[in-house]
Amino acid sequence: MKRWIGISWLTAVYAFLYIPLLTLMVYSFNQARFTTVWKGFTLKWYVKLMANQQLLDAFFNSLTVALVASVIATGIGTLGAFAVSHYRFAGRKIFFGLIYSVMMSPDIVMGISLLMLFVLLGMETGFLTLLLAHVTFCLPFVMVTVHARIRGFDSMVVDAARDLGAGEFQIFFRIILPMILPAVLAGWLLSFTLSLDDVIISFFVTGPAFEILPLKIYSMVRLGVKPEVNALCTILFLMTLAAVTAAHFLTKEREQ
Amino acid sequence: MPVVSLQNVSKTFENHVVIDKLSLDVFKGEFLTLLGPSGCGKTTVLRIIAGLETCDQGGIHIDGKDHTHVPACDRDVNTVFQSYALFPHMTVFDNIAFGLKLKKTKPGEIKQRVEETLALVKLSGLGHRRIQQLSGGQQQRVAIARAIVNQPLILLLDEPLSALDYKLRKEMRLELRQLHRKLGITFVFVTHDQEEALTLSDRVVVMNNGAIEQIGPPKEIYEEPLNRFVAEFVGESNLFDAEVIKTWGETMDIRVQGVLKTVKNRRGFQAGQRVKVLLRPEDMTVESGKQACLPGSFPGRVEEMIYKGTTVELIIRLEDGKQVVVLEFFNEDAEDISYDMGEGVCVSWIDGWEVVLPHE
Ligand SMILES: Nc1ncnc2c1ncn2[C@@H]1O[C@H](COP(=O)(O)OP(=O)(O)O)[C@@H](O)[C@H]1O
Ligand SMILES: [Mg+2]
């Protein structure tokens, strides 16, 4: 009896979480153009999608930004996490606390404040501003992920390397980096998906010349949801799922 | 010329003085042990020698050259860490080869030296293993191998045996001694275990609260402790309060437990001074107390008899309530050592085996 309650409860939770997504995926294979009535299976929306040059451009732009931003954020974030856990300096704890506040601040606040900054600096919104914004909001996630990993191992290992003749550079590349690599990769994948998915911040900081996928979709659905969009969203969701799953296994791996 | 020389080194952590104007010379090729209770600053001294910690005041010379500001990576010193601190992402071979690779040693020579060192620590054939696949004792050997393969001037060992079980610890003790003899490297060894210190070392440095209480060969530390701390930390001891009655030359009369005794006076004590008399349990004797005790011995009662194989430990309560520990050896000609609980006995010591310490 108890078991049954547990199972039904779990089913309810997962249904709540996944029914919207499943609906979207199912309808991306629906023949009908305007109705939500099932008219039979088709792949034509995917084919159509491939022919939509505007959408493909936006998709390519999104991938470019996500890739470059996540790589930069991972580089800076990894070094930052290393510095915070490795060197003692004044305000170290406050510094790390500030990282969390960036992570928690609402997207709309981030978006507006970044826009204000760019305007103040006289920068024209476009690829560069978008990239900087994405690096900014990805950075804390990388730092937190990598920092947790660094904290997890014996700090004496660094002393041992130094004792055996390693300088700072060698300590980082031969000892720290190999040991935190799974966390670095996880942080990178997380950044990649965050950047790929972002709508609100991007809305403020990109210009008309540089269209990215989530914003393109957003403008499309204002005129009604097209089945191509369903297809596109399905592809996006699967990409995100793959990245998140990979990140999860990378952080879990070797922990035991 | 000492191979390591610390001059008036002080170290403070967060307003807490951990090392207090400590000076120490370590001589080439010796096995020196830092012995002291946990928290007394042993590891800190080791880390200062390794260069992993800087000193706030004072300086350090290694091999005659000022090393006060030389970073750890440029010192000809290697450490075996208490937690081993092996590199978990490398094989045994790569762990041991790490130092040699940094020194740009040729691959052929690296291979040869690592293999030799593996043989030396009895791990031949385990080079390809991952660290996680080794037992605690084997990890310990890798940690030693990783340090000695570099043939440093000085090897520092921070409580390397403390994580091993009793039997393994005794085995490793012997192996460390042999290793020291074979390599001829200067060893600076840290422990809080007095037995380990006494059995391994050429010289023992007894530390307390970041300062040195006494330096000397194990026999001297044990038999001639300079003060009460050393006496009580190194080995078991009975301490009696006493008063100097009369002195002449190297001899004096003292009153202990209401009994007058004539003892050596090596430290120039004066009549009227209060002193402590230290006696090791094995230096005390027990006589059956069926007759009245002879002059110079103390009456008491047996409270506990602990059989220890080749010896018997007697816990005796003297008449004034003081508890004394006496160690009796079984020897062939003596009759059985056997006392009843509560049996009256007379306790004394072999003349001249006492150590008289200043009253602190
Ligand atoms: N990095 C540090 N920061 C603050 N206190 C420390 C640090 N290292 C050691 N101490 C303190 O210094 C004292 C001596 O430590 P240590 O040298 O490790 O002693 P031992 O090795 O003899 O047990 C201890 O009270 C310890 O808490
Ligand atoms: Mg210690």
The minimal CB distance from A163 to the residues B72, B88, B89 is found for B72
Cα B58 to Cα A79, B9, B19, B153: the distances in Å are 35, 4, 11, 22
- Please name each of the domains of chain B with its CATH number: 4-232 (3.40.50.300), 236-358 (2.40.50.140)
In angstroms, the separation between the Cα of residue A181 and the nearest Cα of chain B is 11
**B236-295 pLDDT, tens digit each:** 899 999 999 999 888 999 999 888 888 988 888 999 999 999 999 999 988 887 778 888
Residue B337 neighbours by CB distance under 10 Å: 15
Side chain identity at B162, as an amino acid letter? S
**Distance separating alpha carbons of residues B45 and A149, to the nearest angstrom:** 30
Which atom of ligand 1 lies closest to the CA of B34?
22
Chain A contact set for B77 (CB, 8 A): 163
Q: Are B17 and B210 spatial neighbours (Cβ–Cβ below 8 Å)?
A: yes
Please report the sign of the dihedral spanned by the C-alpha atoms of residue A123, residue A125, residue A126, residue A131.
positive
Contacts of B51 in chain A (CB under 8 A): 163
Numbered residues of chain A with Cβ closer than 8 Å to any chain B Cβ: 153-154, 156-157, 159-167, 170, 174-175, 178-179
Contact by Cβ (8 Å): B187, B157: yes
Tell if the CB–CB gap between B52 and A159 is shorter than 8 Å.
yes
Q: How confident is the model at residue A255 (pLDDT cuts 50, 70, 90)?
A: very low
CB of B281 closer than 6 angstroms to any ligand 1 atom? no
pLDDT of residue A74: 96
Ligand nearest to the CA of B159: 2
Return the residue matching tokens 């209480």: B213
Contacting residues of A for B147, CB less than 8 Å apart: 163-164
Number of Cβ within a 10 Å radius of residue A251: 19
Q: What is the C-alpha separation between B72 and B75, in angstroms, rounded?
A: 5
pLDDT (average), residues A190-202: 91
Of B78, B88, B103, the CB nearest to A163: B78
User: Least CA distance to B52: which residue of chain A?
Assistant: A159
CB contact under 8 A, B98 and A161: yes
The string of pLDDT tens digits covering residues B116-137 is 999 999 999 999 999 999 999 9
For ligand 1, atom 26, the nearest C-alpha belongs to B39
Which residue in B71, B81, B102 is closest to A160 by CB distance? B81
Contact B79, B107 (CB under 8 A): no
Exposure string over B155-187, b if 16+ CB within 10 A, otherwise e = bbbbbbbeebeeeebeebbeebeebbeeeebbb
Task: State pTM to two decimals.
Answer: 0.81
Of B50, B78, B102, the CB nearest to A166: B102
Nearest CA to ligand 1 atom 12: B18
* Ligand 1 site, residue B41, Cβ cutoff 6 A: yes
Provide the mean pLDDT of chain A.
Answer: 87
Closest C-alpha to A186, from A136, A243, A139, A226: A243
The pick from B10, B11, B13, B15 for probing ligand 1's pocket by mutation, whose C-beta has the most ligand atoms within 8 angstroms, reads B13
For chains A and B, CB pairs below 8 A equal 61
Structure confidence by residue, pLDDT tens digits, B36-73: 999 999 999 999 999 999 999 999 999 999 999 999 99
Cross-chain Cβ contact B146/A164 below 8 Å = yes
CA-wise closest residue to A145 among A100, A106, A200, A90: A100
Q: Torsions phi, psi of A21, nearest 5?
A: -65, -45
Provide CB contacts within 8 A for B298, sequence distance 6+.
B257, B259, B318, B319, B324, B346, B347, B348
Q: Which ligand minimizes its atom distance to the CA of B35?
A: 1
- For residues A130-151, give the mean pLDDT: 92
Please state which architecture CATH assigns to domain A55-229: Orthogonal Bundle (1.10)
pLDDT at site B17: 94
How many C-beta neighbours within 10 Å does residue A169 have? 8
Residue pair A167/A176 in contact by the 8 Å Cβ criterion? no
How far, in Å, CA of B332 to CA of A77, rounded?
76
Least Cα distance to A218 among A207, A202, A234 occurs for A202
Q: Which residue has the tokens 């120490």?
A: B24
Compute, in angstroms, the gap from residue A241 CA to the centroid of ligand 2: 48
**By the CB < 8 Å criterion, does B27 face chain A?**
no
Q: How many residues does chain B have?
A: 360
Instruction: Check if the beta carbon of residue B165 is closer than 8 Å to that of residue B9.
Output: no
Could you count the other beta carbons within 10 Å of the beta carbon of residue B244? 19
Q: pLDDT digits over A78-107, tens only?
A: 999 988 887 777 888 888 888 888 888 899
What's the Rg (C-alpha) of chain B?
25
Interface contact A163-B88, CB threshold 8 A: no
**Binary contact (B71, A162; C-beta < 8 A):** yes
Q: Is some CB atom of chain A closer than 8 A to the CB atom of B73?
A: yes
Most confident of A84-88, A167-171, B141-145: B141-145
Q: Is B191 in the pocket of ligand 1 (CB under 6 A)?
A: no
Candidates A122, A105, A133; CA nearest to A206 is: A133
Closest CA to B10 of B59, B73, B64, B50: B59
Q: What are the structure tokens assigned to B294, written together?
A: 């002879």
pLDDT at B308 over 90: no
- Which tokens is B332 given? 């062939």
Decide: B19 in ligand 1 pocket, CB within 6 A.
no
Query: At B96, is the pLDDT very low, low, confident or very high (cuts 50, 70, 90)?
Result: very high
pLDDT at B115 (0 to 100): 96
B132 DSSP 8-state letter:
G
- What is the separation, in whole angstroms, between the first and last Cα of chain A? 35
Location of structure tokens 């930069």: A72
Q: How far apart are the first and last CA of chain B?
A: 35
- Residue A121's pLDDT band (cuts 50, 70, 90): very high
Cα B117 to Cα A13, B92, B141: the distances in Å are 59, 11, 10
Please work out whether the CB of residue B197 comes within 6 Å of at least one atom of ligand 1.
no
What are the start-end ranges of the H helices in A87-164?
Answer: 92-104, 107-120, 127-151, 156-163
The rounded Å distance from CA B42 to ligand 2 centre is 6
Which band of pLDDT confidence, cut at 50, 70 and 90, is reported for residue B335? low
The single-letter code of the amino acid at B230 is: V
Q: Helix (H, G, I), strand (E, B), or coil: what is residue B83?
A: coil
Q: Given CB atoms, is B88 within the 8 Å cutoff of chain A?
A: yes
Shortest CA gap A179–chain B (Å): 6
- Calculate how close chain B gets to A201, using CA atoms only, in Å: 39
- In angstroms, the CA A175 to CA A158 distance is 7
| Cα radius of gyration rounded to whole Å, chain A | 22
Element (H, E) at B78: strand B77-80
Greater confidence (B329 vs B147) lies with: B147
Mean residue pLDDT of chain B comes to 92
Residue B333, pLDDT above cutoff 70? no
Res B334: pLDDT = 60
Rounded distance between C-alpha atoms, residue B180 and residue B13, angstroms = 33
Q: Least CA distance to A182: which residue of chain B?
A: B89
- Other CB atoms closer than 10 Å to residue A6's CB: what's the count? 10
Among residues A253, A229, A247, the alpha carbon closest in space to that of A70 is found at A247
- Hey, is the C-beta of B85 within 8 angstroms of any chain A C-beta? yes
Sheet strand arrangement including B16-26:
B16-26, B4-13, B57-62, B65-66
Q: How far apart are CA B295 and CA B232, in angstroms?
A: 28
